Amino acid sequence: MGKQPKIPKATIKRLSLYYRRLELLEFDGYRMVSSEKMAWLCQVNPAQVRKDLGYFGEFGVRGVGYDVRELMDQVKRILAVNRTWNMGLVGIGHLGTALVNHQNFPARGFTFVAAFDSDPQKIGRPLGSKLRIRDSRELEEVAREKDIRIGVIATPRAEAQPVADRLSTAGIHAILNFSRNRISVPEGCVVENIDFTIRLDILTYRLKEALGM
């Protein structure tokens, strides 16, 4: 019944992985799953699965395993994805457009409710099937009005920090940052960075090593 004893960040990432696997298991009609099976499916150690879950409670039945449906519910609750999240997108380039049209977000309860750009050429244009691009200057107002809880930054690098500041000001405490700049945010605001180029750098490094270069 562990509660707050310092949870590894990697545990959260794996929880997300477990969740996805549980969806597939449920879809395939499985009712129960053992830590060993989950571990095998997710390519981790069985003790790791049990330890990860153990940080948050006792969800299993000894001698039997975990109830797929119930474990899903628990993991959803832990990750706070047992609800919908309104997102606001800032920066409507190719990437921003792709994000708005991304199928998986709404399927998982992540919904874009507004999109912003500072380019007068773009403002007012429709985006995807439900949105219209709005002026970045309206961000604070719209954030309140639409109850935006997550800000997604897909701007050029120079605009990332100013946008992050505006998002904070607008009372948004969670930012998904696709720009190449790390951003600074006030205490209490959380940021996740997704940086394609870093991943490519890691990839080429590893390829070089794998080839013994």
Binding stretches for a copy of itself (CB under 8 A):
9, 12-13, 15-17, 19-20, 42-43, 78-81, 85, 93-95, 97-99, 101-102, 104-105, 108, 110, 149-150, 173-176, 180, 182, 188-190, 192, 194, 196-208, 210-211, 213
Of these partners, DNA, a copy of itself, none, which one is at the site of residue 158 (CB under 5 to 8 Å by kind)? none
Q: How far apart are CA 86 and CA 47, in angstroms?
A: 36
Q: How far apart are CA 7 and CA 11, in angstroms?
A: 7
As measured in angstroms, the least distance from the Cβ of 101 to a copy of itself is: 4
Q: Residue 90: enclosing H or E segment and its boundaries?
A: strand 85-90
Of these partners, DNA, a copy of itself, none, which one is at the site of residue 168 (CB under 5 to 8 Å by kind)? none
The residue (of 21 and 108) whose beta carbon lies closer to DNA is 21
Of these partners, a copy of itself, DNA, none, which one is at the site of residue 69 (CB under 5 to 8 Å by kind)? none
Of these partners, a copy of itself, DNA, none, which one is at the site of residue 51 (CB under 5 to 8 Å by kind)? DNA
Residue tagged 């153990």 (tokens) = 54
As measured in angstroms, the least distance from the Cβ of 143 to a copy of itself is: 15
The residue (of 9 and 138) whose beta carbon lies closer to a copy of itself is 9
The residue (of 9 and 62) whose beta carbon lies closer to a copy of itself is 9
What 3-state class would DSSP assign to 142? Answer: helix
| Residues binding DNA (CB under 7 A) | 1-2, 6, 8-11, 34-36, 44-48, 50-51, 53-54, 58-66
Of these partners, a copy of itself, DNA, none, which one is at the site of residue 58 (CB under 5 to 8 Å by kind)? DNA
Cα–Cα separations (whole angstroms), residue 117 to 55, 71, 88, 187? 42, 41, 11, 26
Helix 35-42 / helix 9-27 crossing angle, nearest 10 deg: 100
Return the structure tokens found at 30: 């499985």
Q: Is residue 93 packed enough to be buried (19+ CB in 10 Å), middle (13-18) or exposed (0-12)?
A: middle
No. of helices (H) and no. of strands (E), the chain = 9, 10
The residue (of 47 and 203) whose beta carbon lies closer to a copy of itself is 203
Of the candidates 57, 61, 87, the residue with the CA atom closest to the CA atom of residue 75 = 57
Q: How far apart are CA 185 and CA 165, in angstroms?
A: 7
